[in-house]
Structure 1
Amino acid sequence: MTAPALLSATGLCVAFPGRRGRAPARAVDGVDLDVGRGEIVALVGESGCGKSTLARALLGLVAPTAGRVLFDGREPGRGTRALKEYRRRVQLVLQDPSGSLNPRHTVYEAVAEGLRIHGLRGDERAAVAEALARAGLRPPERFLLRHPHELSGGQRQRVVIAGALVLGPELIVADEPVASLDASVRGEILALLLRLRGELGLSALVVTHDLGLAWNVADRVAVMYLGRIVESGPVEEVLTAPRHPYTRALLSVLPESGAEPVVLSGEPPDTSRIPAGCRFHVRCPVLASGAAERAGVARACRGTELPVLPGGPDSRVACHWAAAGT
């Protein structure tokens, strides 16, 4: 029997009011997503697909317009006290450590801030030092009185991670955690996430546009396009045998893929005017090449909407052409 997910979203939707009478922008348009205990899930997609909005909705930073989020089997309350407790257990790590850290605060103050906000008592200095050490800043005493400008980019990101760890969270939501770092440092931060999972049993949802990062760090991957998950499953299955044309296009640009790069035509449609049928069909190379017509699914691609994929651990794909067994 499968253990219940630590974090679970069902039918989650987030819409923003349209300007000047336009239809609402459906940034997240029906998402089921699970993150298990001790599991790292990568949420992958190009800029504007809705992945950061989904992450913020999971954290309670954006109010969903439909659907629900469960953490540890319960729906987080909407009251101030309930949200405060939830956000202690689920911490956000942003992509830009320079923007996340107050330049006037020392490393000690930056990491201790969460303890003070949540009113957690005890030996504050010992807790800060332990969090810095776990984040790879050793010996921590060397860093306590430094300011952000005295640190490298990788060290600043470790301080941000330490600020999350000091609260003892069960899950970290990392939004593009290495996007602003040099290539030489990226591997160190990814190795740190894996080590924290091993040492603390920490779960993580890693939001990224980089499928190469997902390959290196994740257990499962969920590929998002225009507000929905279009393919998900164990990372080895999805990235070695992708079934959705969008996933294939994302993979094709990785140098190690060895495939001919697939250049998608145009830009993703406006989220206030999501096309009928498969939402990817207006850019789909399979449809453009005639392969969908030969498989007998071209009409369905253009006019039949696909269901929301369930959020479990099995491989899933929202694609008429893939479902036809081609």
Structure 2
Amino acid sequence: MSSSGPVRPLLSAEGLRVVFPGRRGAPAARAVDGVDLEVGAGEIVALVGESGCGKTTLARSLLGLVRPSGGTVRFAGEPLAYTGKALRAYRKRAQLVLQDPSGSLNPRHTVYDAVAEGLRIHGYAGDERAAVAEALARAGLRPPERFFLRYPHELSGGQRQRVVIAGALVLEPELIVADEPVASLDASVRGEILALLLRLRDELGLSALVVTHDLGLAWNIADRVAVMYLGRIVETGPVESVLTSPRHPYTRALLSVLPESGGDPVVLTGEPPDPARIPSGCRFHVRCPVLASGEAAEVAERCRTQDLPVLAGGADRVEAACHWARAERV
């Protein structure tokens, strides 16, 4: 894994916000509520959090699929423009790999047509057959010609995910955003797909933002990790530092359910995150086991009333948006 970040990130978000209006007078949902995030060239960053925390909305806004309500997305130093022409050019350089290969592959299209679709959309003028074959081979489907005329239902789950990855690779992007790329796969196949993503990073210099609820996956693949809760990054830093010495109680709770944690799982009480009802102070305080236990008594008032700053996007050291963790360091 890379040990030092680049001077200028390939992809960055600054103060990013995405707000969805409420229906019939309901309060607006602040799905992404002030996020700084960076992905360097040749770097894999894991974006981790439970369902409903805003990580998929953040990922889609980074790709221009959801227009932010505020803040800026930059790619290779240039602000993302939201014209049709600019987004079309951007999506050649940054590709989305979806969670469910069965849902993202048209059952009536052959593997060849599924992979060639991006080339046709972008008016590729080269040798289409050679480009499709190379993308399939890079995704681990060899010999590629054997898969050209197959349909999705004739493939295993792992093979379908490789076809989806090949469809992204065929445009030779610099970045892929993989949304739960192995969530629907068996454990044995998960390792193969993660190894493939690492090989693509090493061989092609490909950058990746991997969106997941699984901190174990982050441990196996990422250089850096960003833990998201209720629309904001609450802990970030090099993956080994964050996952061996987590400072935020939410990160600790996520880690406690991993089989290798060796301790008792932390069961979070209270309601799951609601982006339309973000509490005052620390947004995690209503479910925080450290606060509930009395361990954070000295900072309890701050936890309930004082908001925390947005964490740096490209942190090369562990940063946590937590009054208790900050008090512990002093």
> What TM-score do you get using the length of structure 1 for normalisation?
0.98
**Which of 314, 320, 323 pairs up with 1:320?**
323
Amino acid of the residue matched to residue 188 of structure 1?
E
Structure 1 residues 308-317 or 28-37, which shifts more?
A: 308-317
Q: Does 1:282 align with 2:309?
A: no
Match of 1:310 in 2: 312
Q: Does 1:90 align with 2:91?
A: no
CA–CA distance in 1 between the matches of 2:171 and 2:135?
Answer: 9
1:10 aligns with 2:11: no
2:136 is aligned with 1:137: no
Q: What letter corresponds to residue 89 of structure 2 in structure 1?
A: E
- What is the CA distance between 1:95 and its match in structure 2? 0.6
> 1:79-138: CA deviations, max 9, x gaps?
111100001100000010000100000000000000000011110000000000000000
Query: Matched residues in 2 for 1:185 and 1:260: separation?
Result: 28
Q: Is the aligned partner of 1:156 residue 2:175?
A: no
Aligned to 1:41: 45
In structure 1, the partner of 2:122 is 118
In structure 2, what is the equivalent of residue 63 of structure 1?
67
Aligned partner of 1:240 in structure 2 is 244
Identity %: 80
Give 1:298's aligned amino acid: A
Question: How many residues of Structure 1 are paired with residues of Structure 2 in the alignment?
Answer: 324
Q: CA deviation at 1:76?
A: 1.9
Q: Distance in 2 between matches of 1:292 and 1:169?
A: 46
Residue 32 (str. 1) matches residue 36 (str. 2): yes
TM superposition outliers: structure 1 runs of 4+ over 4 Å: none
- Aligned partners of 2:315 and 2:26: how far apart in 1? 37
- The superposition leaves residues 148-189 of structure 1 with CA deviations (integer Å, 9 ceiling, x where unpaired) of 000000000000000000000000000000000111100000
Which runs of 5 or more structure 2 residues have no equivalent in the other structure? Answer: none
Displacement, 1:266?
2.1
Q: What is aligned with 1:176?
A: 180
- State the alpha-carbon separation in 2 of the partners of residues 54 and 184 from structure 1: 29
One-letter code aligned to 2:122: H
Is 1:252 paired with 2:256?
yes
Per-residue deviation, 1:271 = 1.1
* Deviation, structure 1 residue 226: 0.2
State the SS of the aligned residue for 1:41: strand
Map residues 191-270 of structure 1 onto 2, 5 A cutoff. Answer: 191-270=195-274
Matched AA of 2:278: I
CA distance in 2, matches of 1:283, 1:303: 15
The 8 Å contact of residues 226 and 268 in structure 1, kept in 2 or not, is answered as: no
Letter in 2 for 1:311: G
Secondary structure at 2:89's aligned position in 1?
helix
Q: Which amino acid aligns with 1:309?
A: L
2:13/2:74 contact within 8 Å kept: yes
Distance in 1 separating the partners of 2:206 and 2:143: 23
SS in structure 2 of the partner of residue 91 of structure 1:
strand
Shift in Å, 1:2: 5.0
Give the Cα–Cα distance (whole angstroms) in 2 for the partners of residues 191 and 270 of structure 1: 35
CA distance in structure 2 between the partners assigned to 1:174 and 1:236 by the alignment: 21
| Deviation larger for 267-276 or 121-130 | 267-276
